[in-house]
Structure 1
Amino acid sequence: MKRTTNDLLDEYKGADFTKRLHLYLQHRELRPEFIETDRNELRSGEPERIPGSKWLPKFLTCTFEKACSLPGKA
């Protein structure tokens, strides 16, 4: 049985960090949607619900801040 895009996105939203990583690596075509899901959760403060991801919000915030503050970046 082939999983639909919606099934994969729902699975990603309910997955722990390790499962999310596997889905991200396996489904290259859905990476933009996975990234958008992560960004939305980061903005809303939801990443704390994902076991083993306490470092993730700090890492992503730091990464995005550094990328946005590089010289020549708007």
Structure 2
Amino acid sequence: MLKTANLTSDDVSLVKLEPLEIPQRLKNNTIQAGHTWEPHLSEAMKLGENILFTSKQTPGLILDLIIFRGEIIRDRYCND
């Protein structure tokens, strides 16, 4: 997604928000872009926001991830 806009990870600052916060934060200009889904996407569109990137642009690629620190996996799920 960043590459298609000629950006790198150094060009963005990630902020943890709940998906339902995205539409109002965009409207208040406290964030410049956000990742969300329905029904929050439609709410953002009603507030005049635009879609910059959609998973339709990357067929077969799932953009959602769940990431854990290595010690969490080791401590909770490994029986060594």
Give the TM-score taking structure 2 as reference length: 0.29
Give the TM-score taking structure 1 as reference length: 0.30
Q: Which has the higher contact order (CA 8 A, sep 6+)?
A: 1
Point out the structure with the larger helix share: 1
